[in-house]
């Protein structure tokens, strides 16, 4: 059996090469035995016929025989149904819907190493596209609980696709949509920067979409708009009059070939904590960006996340009044999300484990000193180490050296539990406002190297992973650190 085109003009040379010219047998329906995949039936020579395996088939549009079924069975694929779907399940020769995008209203800069910039500062809106750098970004999106009619409408889907391209600040060149049988749509949009494509399953209420761009313009800011444009909810079959909430899973990856320096400097690099914990894994079922700020010193990102196997905490159970045996204990739907703080892509704090982390860092050093009165904290702008220090009654002075003044304000607002001193006698609701605390905005290691600290009983270095902290091997910083300690001083 030959699988492929049945046009004699195409098949003839192949059979001739095999020494089988003129030996095409006939199929039960009178046509060639070859099953055509990917070709629409000839409107002249392909009259609708009822095949032996498709006795319950009905004649569809364009003279096509198809199964009369309201829903596509998950196991019924064109590869296994054979004659039941006849020759094709997709309108492949002619797109049902296609069009072109608006022409770009700006000049293209394709000179070497030009990334969204222009000569002489002419590109005020960052609209120049780099077509020469072999790198890009890839955004993958899966959505469910969507309206079936929307997922089966080429026109509505194409409008959502064009709106998504506009929201991402990209340029649509053309788009092409094909309808599937018995349901579904596949579309692709050709972009100046690369492409956007998707496939739908109306019966299941699912769409899978991907957007790839060679532009360095971030794709993540467009995610809320894409969710809004494609997130048309479907009716809840178990609750008349209510709608199901669309569910979104997504992943972002850097693609192509960047230099090692450019990759390590990118906050979404595959080796960054932000990519590893949040933006890359699809199994993180809940991702919500709380805040993103580019300060003078660093980039700060705060995200709320939940993984598929997360379950409610003890505090969640108290809030919802969960009793033993309640099935909600086993569902991530009722678990509170974990809040994570990243600085330049490095994970610096998380709500779910900050207490354990800082309790293991600070108290051992505090208890190792016989009478700690003066304490210095290098960085630690989230306030978690500060809260541990202030719980020791012997402490009379704390010097908190933080380079970025915005970090303290962001921590106060979005992670207030880390700097909570409401239960510390004589303190303030926020540890940052405790009268014993002196806040210095300076680079911590430069501050140590300048020897501006003296007679410190306990010095807490609350920075990122020491393996990434080159300053810890700087002789000037190390000498300043040692000279800042009191005779019984301790470093943690």
pLDDT tens profile 252-309: 998 888 777 776 677 787 678 999 999 999 889 999 999 999 999 999 999 999 988 8
Number of other residues whose CB lies within 10 A of the CB of residue 428? 15
Residue 465: what pLDDT? 63
Coil/strand/helix, residue 236: coil
Three-state SS letters, 125-179: CCCCCCCCCCEEEEEEEEEECECHHHHCCHHHHHHHHHHHHHHCCCCEEEEEEEE
Q: How many CA atoms lie within 13 A of 69 on its CB side?
A: 17
* Burial label, 113 (beta-carbon count in 10 A; 0-12, 13-18, 19+): exposed
pLDDT of residue 332: 87
pTM, 2 dp: 0.72
Intervals of the chain under pLDDT 50: 5, 25-90, 109-128
Distance CA 292, CA 300 (A): 6
Q: Quote the pLDDT of residue 407.
A: 96
pLDDT of residue 455: 93
Catalytic (active site) residue 238: no
At residue 87, the pLDDT reads: 41
* Active-site residue, from 130, 404, 457, 462: 462
Query: According to the model, what pLDDT value does residue 13 have?
Result: 60
Question: Strands, DSSP E only, in 202-244?
Answer: 206-213
Q: How far apart are CA 117 and CA 108, in angstroms?
A: 10
Whether residue 215 contacts residue 168, with contact meaning beta carbons closer than 8 Å, is answered with no
Query: Cβ distance 90 to 181 under 8 Å?
Result: yes
Tokens of 195: 């492409």
Q: Which strand (E) or helix (H) includes residue 88?
A: none
Query: Hey, what are 272's tokens?
Result: 């960054």
Res 258: pLDDT: 73
Contacts of residue 344, defined as CB under 8 A and 6 or more positions apart, other chains included, come to 267, 298, 299
Q: What residues have CB less than 8 Å from 489, skipping those under 6 apart? A: 369, 456, 457, 458, 459
First to last CA, the chain: 75
pLDDT for res 71: 45
Q: Each residue of 82-109: pLDDT tens digit?
A: 444 344 444 555 566 777 776 555 555 4
The torsion angle over the Cα atoms of residues 189, 154, 94 and 1, rounded to 10 degrees, is 100
Q: Is residue 234 within 8 Å of 146, Cβ to Cβ?
A: yes
């Amino acid at each position: 059996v030959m699988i492929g085109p049945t046009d004699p003009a195409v098949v003839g040379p192949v059979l001739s090469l095999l020494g089988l010219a003129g030996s095409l047998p006939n199929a039960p329906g009178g046509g060639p035995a070859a099953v055509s995949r990917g070709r629409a039936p000839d409107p002249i020579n392909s009259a609708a016929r009822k095949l032996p395996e498709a006795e319950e088939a009905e004649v569809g549009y364009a003279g096509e025989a198809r199964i009369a079924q309201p829903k596509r069975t998950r196991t019924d694929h064109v590869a296994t149904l054979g004659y039941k779907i006849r020759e094709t399940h997709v309108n492949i020769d002619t797109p049902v819907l296609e069009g072109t995008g608006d022409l770009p209203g700006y000049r293209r800069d394709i000179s070497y190493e030009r990334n969204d910039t222009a000569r002489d500062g002419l590109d005020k809106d960052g609209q120049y596209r780099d077509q020469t750098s072999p790198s890009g970004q890839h955004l993958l999106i899966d959505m469910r609980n969507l309206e079936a009619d929307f997922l089966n409408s080429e026109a509505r889907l194409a409008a959502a696709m064009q709106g998504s391209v506009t929201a991402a600040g990209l340029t649509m060149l053309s788009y092409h949509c094909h309808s599937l049988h018995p349901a579904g749509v596949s579309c692709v949009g050709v972009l100046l920067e690369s492409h956007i494509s998707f496939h739908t399953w109306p019966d299941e209420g699912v769409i899978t979409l991907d957007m790839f761009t060679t532009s360095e313009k971030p794709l993540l800011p467009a995610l809320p708009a894409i969710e809004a444009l494609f997130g048309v909810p479907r009716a809840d079959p178990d609750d008349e009059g209510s709608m199901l909430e669309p569910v979104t899973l997504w992943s972002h990856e850097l693609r192509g070939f960047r230099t090692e320096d450019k990759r390590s400097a990118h906050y979404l690099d595959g080796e960054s904590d932000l990519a590893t914990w949040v933006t890359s894994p699809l199994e993180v079922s809940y991702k919500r960006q709380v805040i993103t700020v580019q300060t003078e010193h660093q980039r700060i990102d705060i995200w709320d996340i939940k993984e598929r196997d997360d379950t409610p905490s003890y505090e969640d159970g108290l809030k919802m009044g969960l009793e033993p045996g309640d099935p909600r204990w086993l569902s991530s739907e009722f678990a509170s999300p974990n809040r994570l703080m990243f600085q330049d892509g490095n994970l610096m704090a998380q709500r779910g484990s900050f207490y354990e982390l800082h309790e293991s860092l600070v108290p051992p050093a505090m208890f190792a000193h016989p009478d700690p009165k003066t304490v210095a904290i290098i960085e630690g702008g989230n306030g978690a180490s500060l809260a541990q220090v202030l719980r020791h009654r012997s402490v009379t002075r704390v010097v908190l050296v933080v380079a970025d003044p915005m970090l303290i304000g962001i921590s106060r607002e979005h992670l207030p539990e880390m700097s909570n001193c409401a239960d510390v006698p004589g303190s303030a609701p926020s540890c940052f406002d405790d009268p014993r605390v002196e806040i210095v905005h300076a680079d911590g290691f430069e501050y140590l190297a300048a020897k501006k600290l003296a007679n410190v009983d306990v010095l807490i270095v609350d920075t990122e992973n020491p393996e990434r902290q080159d300053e810890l091997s700087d002789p000037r910083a190390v000498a300043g650190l040692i000279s800042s300690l009191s005779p019984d001083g301790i470093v943690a």
